[in-house]
Amino acid sequence: MTLDTLIAEPWADYGLVDSGHGRKLERYGRFRFIRPEPQAMWAPASGDWKADGEFIPASDDDGGGRWHLDRNVPEEGWPLGWEDVKFQAQCTPFRHLAFFPDMASHWSWMRDRISEGSEALNLFGYTGVGSLALAAKGAKVTHVDASKKSVEAGKANAALSGMSDKPIRWLVDDAAKFAAREVRRERRYDGIMLDPPKYGRGPNREIWHLEEGLPGLIADCAKLLDDKSRFLVLTVYAVRMSALAIGELVRQQLGDLGGTVSCGEMAVREEARGLALPTAIFARWER
Ligand SMILES: C[S@@+](CC[C@H](N)C(=O)[O-])C[C@H]1O[C@@H](n2cnc3c(N)ncnc32)[C@H](O)[C@@H]1O
């Protein structure tokens, strides 16, 4: 299996402006922010970054830290768009802005593989930008996330996009339990996307641990696909895991379905010099 690099290109409302010396400068609509970025070991293109806020990590860097924001940055967030989808960006305590721009490469790829009435499953769906990207192209989407707050944000994003009437099932549930239940119900999907965190909790305190849970979850996803299905997209971030490893897992579990599997690194294009800043790894199956 060979490795691919999927690079998300900048768009009107988002761009990685510059990066270097362990930090990155990004634009989110009319605001610019600086965030820590350990992978940007190179020197930045410019020594003069102007931003509306910066996330300063805690000194022990256990993931903690806090935003230092100018007064003009709205606490409740502000609307952004990606193609025909609208969503609310917001500076969250987890240092990101309530959506993941590197996923745009997958949103486009999946949109090329669905048609009116396709059934899609989005596990660990967060604030629903991926679900809306599919629903906008006519897919019926089942969106699952353990966090009621994220699911509410997803519904609010649907309203913002003028898509409240689209056939999206918004479910607060444990992703692994839900997938197992769907297997027992003999449900089938045309496409599945899953973006599992390293650790997580289901709504009833179910424990999600990536290394332990992923093989069983991919096996269940394979059972939710059949000879008419088109894709599965798995993304993994913030763990020490190789893209080849998740590529091999997906190939093994989905092998009986035919089709092809690819895997590799995800990255975001830097506008200053065109270099690619890595963000996550992926494996995806298609037919
Ligand atoms: C980083 S987010 C996914 C991002 C999303 N795919 C996107 O691009 O916007 C990970 C999500 O997993 C959810 N989560 C964590 N543990 C879970 C579990 N056991 N079952 C379902 N969702 C879970 C979290 O609530 C969070 O919304």
Strand order in the sheet with 276-286: 3-8, 260-269, 276-286, 231-236, 191-194, 119-123, 140-145, 168-172
- CA separation (Å) from 242 to 113, 117, 153, 211? 26, 35, 31, 12
Ligand 1 centroid – CA 146 distance (Å): 7
Sign of CA dihedral 283, 251, 189, 137: positive
207 near 242, Cβ under 8 Å? no
Provide the number of structural domains found in the chain.
Answer: 1
Ligand 1 centroid – CA 8 distance (Å): 21
**Residue pLDDT tens, the chain, 287 long:** 889 999 999 999 999 999 999 999 999 999 999 999 999 999 999 989 999 999 999 987 677 899 999 999 999 999 999 999 999 999 999 999 999 999 999 999 999 999 999 999 999 999 999 999 999 999 999 999 999 999 999 999 999 999 999 999 999 999 999 999 999 999 999 999 999 999 999 999 999 999 999 999 999 999 999 999 999 999 999 788 999 999 999 999 998 999 999 999 999 999 999 999 999 999 999 99
The finding on whether 28 has its CB within 6 A of some atom of ligand 1 is no
Ligand 1 centroid – CA 201 distance (Å): 9
Helix locations, 161-268, DSSP H: 175-184, 210-223, 243-254
* Residue nearest atom 26 in ligand 1 by C-alpha distance: 126
DSSP for 91-129, written as a single string = --TTSS-SS-GGGHHHHHHHHTT--TT-EEEEET-TTSH
80 near 28, Cβ under 8 Å? yes
| Residue 204 domain boundaries | 3-286
Integer Cα distance of 49 and 23 in angstroms: 11
C-alpha atoms less than 13 angstroms from C-alpha of 233 in its C-beta half-sphere: 25
Q: Residue 146's domain is classified under what CATH number? A: 3.40.50.150
The finding on whether 4 has its CB within 6 A of some atom of ligand 1 is no
The finding on whether 201 has its CB within 6 A of some atom of ligand 1 is yes
Give the ligand 1 atom nearest the CA of 128: 9
The finding on whether 100 has its CB within 6 A of some atom of ligand 1 is yes
